[in-house]
Amino acid sequence: MKITFLGGGNMANALIGGLRKQGFSVAAMQVVEPVAETRERLTEKFGLRCCPTIDAAALNCEVLMLAVKPQQLKNALLPLTDQFDKHLENQLVISIAAGVRLADISRWLGGYRQLVRCMPNTPALIGAGLTGLYAVPEVGFEGRMTAEKILRAVGNVLWTDDEAKMDAITAVSGSGPAYVFYFIEALQQAALEQGFDERTARILAIETFVGASRLAEQSPESATALRERVTSKGGTTEAALAMFNAGRVNQVIRAGVQAAAERGRVIGEEMGKD
């Protein structure tokens, strides 16, 4: 399977690195990337072919991964519209552009419908990502499996059969790592205020988060049950949680995710205006 990446930034790097680790041949991957420095870095790091604009060799692929920023996508695709009639009849086009709807991508590509939209998250950079995936009905089983195989190279995958849910996936797992970092930051600051140095505060906060996350992942019990197990009546944890509840932290987090989902919908609409 030959894959061409349109855009050679962070996400393309993570995916190429993940695919290489899975034994995917470097000869089967290419990158279209306008920035010379980025192209040089990619060639040095992976030894793959990079070109500044999409050419005939880059079009000779089974999968075209759209890995440019959402606001760059329309312009990046417009020069391809003619090419699709000539070269890209059965290729699978996979977009990782946050918020951009497949109806708009299809329109920008002159009605092309072999389209998959996905939303990875940044732990993909270390192979621990979670990617939400959606395919239009025209994409068959084989196309779905191809998309899944590529995204599995950087972590777990989760399919949805409703594209509107992609905004919700973006709000929960796409933006989610930032919520986790926010919590780690707060816990680290709290440790500093308790008199620990920077290094110790960092270890205390991160190791606690990693350990508790692993426990939640491996335990058959719910997060609620696990939390209750740590919370003895009249104890230290109860004192902290009473403070969180007084500050309505749970409700604020849920409202934040709601705001992110809403923002995703608005960005999607704005992006597809023309």
Ligand X SMILES: NC(=O)c1ccc[n+]([C@@H]2O[C@H](COP(=O)([O-])OP(=O)(O)OC[C@H]3O[C@@H](n4cnc5c(N)ncnc54)[C@H](OP(=O)(O)O)[C@@H]3O)[C@@H](O)[C@H]2O)c1
6 belongs to the binding site for ligand X (CB under 6 A): yes
In three state form, how does the secondary structure of 135-177 look?
ECCCCCHHHHHHHHHHHHCCEEEEECCCCCHHHHHHHHHHCHH
CA distance 124 to 75: 26
DSSP annotation of 122 reads: G
Minimum distance from CB of 174 to ligand X (Å)?
5
64 belongs to the binding site for ligand X (CB under 6 A): no
Binder among 1, 20, 28, 35 for ligand X (CB under 6 A): 35
Query: x-or-dash pattern for ligand X, window 123-152, by CB under 6 A?
Result: ------------------------------
Residues in contact with ligand X, counted by CB under 6 A, come to a total of 27
72 belongs to the binding site for ligand X (CB under 6 A): yes
68 belongs to the binding site for ligand X (CB under 6 A): yes
CA distance 218 to 64: 36
In three state form, how does the secondary structure of 53-109 look?
CCCHHHHCCCEEEECCCHHHHHHHHHHHHHHHHHCCCCCEEEECCCCCCHHHHHHHC
Minimum distance from CB of 91 to ligand X (Å)?
16
Minimum distance from CB of 176 to ligand X (Å)?
10
By CB under 6 A, the residues from 225 to 264 that bind ligand X are none
Binder among 17, 143, 155, 174 for ligand X (CB under 6 A): 174
Q: Alpha carbon of 160 to those of 163, 167, 177, 231: distances in Å?
A: 7, 11, 20, 36
81 belongs to the binding site for ligand X (CB under 6 A): no
Considering beta carbons, is residue 4 or 146 the nearer one to ligand X?
A: 4
Binder among 61, 63, 96, 205 for ligand X (CB under 6 A): 96
Minimum distance from CB of 118 to ligand X (Å)?
8
Q: Which stretch binds ligand X (CB under 6 A): 92-100, 213-221, 235-243, 245-253?
A: 92-100
Q: Bridge-partner residues for 118, per DSSP?
A: 133
Which residue's CB atom is positioned nearest to ligand X? 9
Minimum distance from CB of 66 to ligand X (Å)?
8
> Counting Cβ atoms within 10 Å, is residue 89 exposed (0-12), middle (13-18) or buried (19+)?
exposed
Q: Which stretch binds ligand X (CB under 6 A): 29-37, 85-93, 186-194, 265-273?
A: 29-37
> Counting Cβ atoms within 10 Å, is residue 204 exposed (0-12), middle (13-18) or buried (19+)?
middle
Considering beta carbons, is residue 53 or 208 the nearer one to ligand X?
A: 53
32 belongs to the binding site for ligand X (CB under 6 A): yes
CA distance 75 to 109: 11
Supply the angle between the helices 10-21 and 141-152 in degrees, to the nearest 10.
100
List of residues 6+ apart from 80 with CB closer than 8 A: 54, 88, 109
Minimum distance from CB of 124 to ligand X (Å)?
7
Instruction: Write out the residues near ligand X by the rule CB under 6 A.
Output: 6-12, 32-35, 38, 67-70, 72, 75-76, 96-98, 119-122, 174
